[in-house]
Amino acid sequence: MYIVIGKSGQLASELKATMDKKNVVFLGRNEINLFSNQDIINTLSQYNPKAIINSAAYTNVDEAESNKIAAFALNEKAVKFLANFCADKDIRFIHTSTDFVFDGSQSRPYEADDSVNPINVYGLSKLGGEIAIRNSNFKNYSIIRTSWLYSVYGKNFVKTMLNLMASKNILNIVDDQIGRPTNARGLAKFIWSIVDEPFVENIYHWSDLGKASWFEFANEIYSQGQNLGLINNNVTINGISTSAYPTAAIRPKYSVLSVCSKSEKTWQESLQDMLIELNK
């Protein structure tokens, strides 16, 4: 059997939707206290899993700037507790991380072994989790970095854009931040594909193929949304610079991750899959 830490988030929901006939226990905040090492030990010791998949994270990038303690508690300290438990019990550990461990200063896709240099609290806290795993003296782990995640579940950029495009006629979207939009459905399938594999790699990068700015992403959402009948409004989408849309957290200008060999779909194709499902 397998344990997924997280229950209602985008990735946990997609892991549930794609788990096939696997025996999986999903542990949300009501079932496990990730801020208590003893509670983690007591809860997880009730099971005998082949692997533990951690999909729980503090993901509000801007709020993390003023909530550093909470961000590091969930993204670093809790990950350390989980990694140490897996190391002690020799349980495979799969953990998701982010493109925000990079500073965005280069112009080619980031490889898994490129130097990390987070420029915001969220990225620092996620890097802290990665380091905690590596320092657990345990080899049977996989860290999967991903980017610009969206899903039919939860809150995300795609669903926010659909809501705005239904009610507004003009949108101003940042056009100088570049990354890889990623459907969480594909990430979930990838995780299930490696969960039983013997140790191969410690760090993977997973995203859909191709790259885009948020402006280009929004335009594709609008185009596909109209074609599917999800958007009946006429919307003008303007590209603006990051400086014209200040946020609490600094974002990397270029956070394109290298592509895993198992990635098959372009981000446009994966977006279409998600919108079709949302339209059912």
The residues assigned a catalytic role are 122
Contact (Cβ atoms closer than 8 angstroms) between residue 124 and residue 250? no
Contact (Cβ atoms closer than 8 angstroms) between residue 265 and residue 208? yes
Q: What number of CA atoms fall less than 13 Å from residue 136's CA on the CB side? A: 31
Residue with tokens 């059997």: 1
Contact (Cβ atoms closer than 8 angstroms) between residue 64 and residue 125? yes
Contact (Cβ atoms closer than 8 angstroms) between residue 224 and residue 168? no
Q: What is the CA radius of gyration of the chain?
A: 19
Contact (Cβ atoms closer than 8 angstroms) between residue 176 and residue 212? no
Q: In the chain, what is the greatest distance between 2 CA atoms, to the nearest angstrom?
A: 57
Residue with tokens 């925000």: 100
